[in-house]
Amino acid sequence: MSERATAPPMFNVQIDGVWRQFPKGTRVIEACEQAGSYVPHYCYHKKLSSPGNCRMCLIEMGMPKLGPDRKPELGADGKPVINWMLRPQISCAQDIAEGMGVRTNSPLAKECQRGVMEFLLINHPLDCPICDQAGECLLQEFSVEYGTAESRFLENKVKKPKNVVLGPRVTLDDERCILCSRCIRFCQEIAKDDVLGFVDRGSHTVLTAHPGKRLENNYSLNTVDICPVGALTSSDFRFKMRVWFLKETKSICTSCATGCNTLIGTREDIIYRQTPRQNDAVNSCWMCDYGRLHFSYLESEKRLLEPRISSGEKLAAVNWKTAITQAALQLRQFSGWEIAVVASGRMTNEELWLTAQIARLLGVQFIDIVPRTGPSDDILLSADRNPNSNGARLLLQLASEPGAKLPALAEAAKSGQVKALVALGENPLAFGISTEQLAQLPAFIVMDILSNVATEHATVLLPASGFAEKRGSMINGKGRLQRLNRAVRPPGTARDDWEILRDLLQALGGGNAIYSIEDVFRQMSDAVPQFAGLSLSKIGDPGAHVMQLEESPPTEKPSDEAKIEEGASAQSQRRNEKST
């Protein structure tokens, strides 16, 4: 830590004729990017080690010319005279040094870029019309910016395997592969699942899974993200939609407490894919396949489309006003100790806040959320599969651990003490209440998005919105407040959860002057010290830390730099093994 505390020494570097200062350890390609001179690259990825095998980032480089006294000679401007090297250098695998000179735009550098582009395209099938990467393909982009319009290659292109199933979620087209090895390094360094490698030599080199192995780890789809071309494609997204049609909405993943930052790709109210959004405080550049593909339920046939109230045997569709009035009417018949509220760790802070208001208004004693756990890994996936357990702890003021009150609640329902049950996004059958008991409840108000056995017994059924259909905020497992954004509209007449709760609160006689979700957050920031001074817009895209957790999750996760070093050493070790 003491090393970190002292600022690293700054080096003077001349980039495209301008002298600038960068801290020691900066890679040349990064320094160039910070200086505004973008250097094209394929194999280099800021979160991975640099093998330097694509050669796209070639630049002209020079070191200070040393005089007889071993001191840099100074030019007329008082700056060192640079001794330019005759050969171009790759900028991704090189750290800056004092007095270094870099030319990213010189005729030599441009000629190198053109040449490398031509080589890369020699065996490329140029099947952009059917390639899923088209539109976000670095080969296309750099070909336009740095390449030539024509190929001088007259011979037959090399044939390689196409449509190779690498694993359950990833499909490989070897002809498109430019052998940058990003996917291999990702598997080694980040996913810790060394399954990919190159075989054969020269033009016939192909990417493949090691014999007997498949790319099936929970992070396999990140290889698709970082693949600069269309070689690795997502089997789920394959041929579904061209990327240029997708509207990308910044949001977060709600499948576990990590809350990975995402971009939701949608077109005309249909979600086509989720991709990770870089946030070094949460998920770096990655997300797990489980969370990434966990959105198709939003288009399920079982979505609840309209509010319903029970009339006789079945549930009759009514308008919102009737449903809310009916719910309020049923709840007012009972006193606080006869009502139980089961909220959800999947609700946003705003919804939880309004739930707490309703509970306070009714004097409810039984209020809890349903815990949800699963196996975790030490990369991103958390054992707590509720995205907002911390928000529920904070806003519902749960004294005990989430779920602690549920057995008592089930007991009270059995004994008949609880006469009204409000289930918000949760299924009471999951914590020991039977369907018979649900059927006997005089008031069973359900707000959910999918129909299930329990919703059939609801006295009032309120269709709500899924995670991609609403705005709001959540607190992840590390106490970071992050925002959800609306990517698609909810189906049917389903409404935003916070609106439903707001209307219910008002029908019960409490709460006013809440017209937008910003108003809810404003109330919350006034009342909850952790949110003081914040508003929904002030949270910002990267989120904001709001909770200092006593038992903060262990920081055994290695930082990116450490990972890169580790990966690089593993690589060199392998090389040594091979050579011996």
Partner 1 sequence: MAITVARPKRNWRERLYLPAIAAGMVITIKHFKNTIFGRTKVTMQYPEEKWDSSLPEHYRGAPALVRDTDGRVRCVACQLCEFICPPRAIKIIPGEIPSTDRFAKVEKYPEEFDIDMVRCIFCGMCEEVCPEQAIFLRKDYAITGFTREEMVHDKDKLLEIGGVMHGVVLKWNEKK
In whole angstroms, the minimum distance from the beta carbon of 120 to partner 1 comes to 16
Size of the residue set binding partner 1 (CB under 8 A): 16
In whole angstroms, the minimum distance from the beta carbon of 536 to partner 1 comes to 33
> Strand 247-252 vs strand 261-267: parallel, antiparallel, or unpaired?
antiparallel
Q: Which is nearer to partner 1, 162 or 204 (CB)?
A: 162
In whole angstroms, the minimum distance from the beta carbon of 121 to partner 1 comes to 12
Answer for which of 238, 302, 489, 545 binds partner 1 (CB under 8 A) is 238
Q: Which is nearer to partner 1, 19 or 239 (CB)?
A: 239
In whole angstroms, the minimum distance from the beta carbon of 155 to partner 1 comes to 10
Does 239 interact with partner 1 (rule: CB under 8 A)?
yes
CB-CB contact of 242 with 134 (8 Å): yes
Q: Which is nearer to partner 1, 60 or 174 (CB)?
A: 174
Answer for which of 156, 537, 548, 580 binds partner 1 (CB under 8 A) is 156
Residue 51 to residue 85: CA distance in whole angstroms: 21
Q: Which is nearer to partner 1, 238 or 557 (CB)?
A: 238
Binding mask 121-150 for partner 1 (x = CB under 8 A): ----xx-xxx---x----------------
Q: Which is nearer to partner 1, 130 or 527 (CB)?
A: 130
Answer for which of 23, 245, 278, 540 binds partner 1 (CB under 8 A) is 245
For residue 330, the number of C-alpha atoms closer than 13 Å in the C-beta half-sphere is 24
In whole angstroms, the minimum distance from the beta carbon of 129 to partner 1 comes to 4
In whole angstroms, the minimum distance from the beta carbon of 280 to partner 1 comes to 34
Residue 64 structure tokens: 């200070």
Give the C-alpha distances (Å, rounded to integers) separating 291 from 235, 279, 350, 385, 387: 16, 16, 23, 10, 11
Does 68 interact with partner 1 (rule: CB under 8 A)?
no
Q: Which is nearer to partner 1, 231 or 253 (CB)?
A: 231
* Collapsed DSSP state (helix, strand, coil) of residue 89: strand
In whole angstroms, the minimum distance from the beta carbon of 125 to partner 1 comes to 6
Q: Where does this chain touch partner 1 (CB under 8 A) — which range of 235-243, 331-339, 481-489, 527-535?
A: 235-243
Instruction: Decide: residue 356, CB within 10 A, 0-12 exposed, 13-18 middle, 19+ buried.
Output: buried
Residue 432 to residue 414: CA distance in whole angstroms: 10
In whole angstroms, the minimum distance from the beta carbon of 178 to partner 1 comes to 16
> Strand 420-424 vs strand 443-448: parallel, antiparallel, or unpaired?
parallel
Does 163 interact with partner 1 (rule: CB under 8 A)?
yes
Give the number of other CB atoms < 10 A from CB of residue 381.
Answer: 22
Q: Where does this chain touch partner 1 (CB under 8 A) — which range of 241-249, 431-439, 484-492, 553-561?
A: 241-249
Residue 555 structure tokens: 């920081």
Does 204 interact with partner 1 (rule: CB under 8 A)?
no
Which residue, among 371, 393, 398, 368, has the nearest Cα to 382 in the 3D structure? 371
Q: Which is nearer to partner 1, 84 or 153 (CB)?
A: 153
Residue 381 to residue 283: CA distance in whole angstroms: 10
Which residue, among 455, 459, 510, 514, has the nearest Cα to 323 in the 3D structure? 459
Residue 345 structure tokens: 């760790």
Burial 482-516 (b: 16+ CB within 10 A, else e): bbbbbbbebbeebbbbbbbbbbbbebbeebeebee
Answer for which of 65, 79, 110, 157 binds partner 1 (CB under 8 A) is 157
**Helix, strand, coil share (%) of the chain residues, nearest 5:** 30, 20, 50
Q: Which is nearer to partner 1, 52 or 125 (CB)?
A: 125
Does 38 interact with partner 1 (rule: CB under 8 A)?
no
Residues near partner 1 (CB under 8 A) = 125-126, 128-130, 134, 156-157, 162-163, 238-240, 242, 244-245
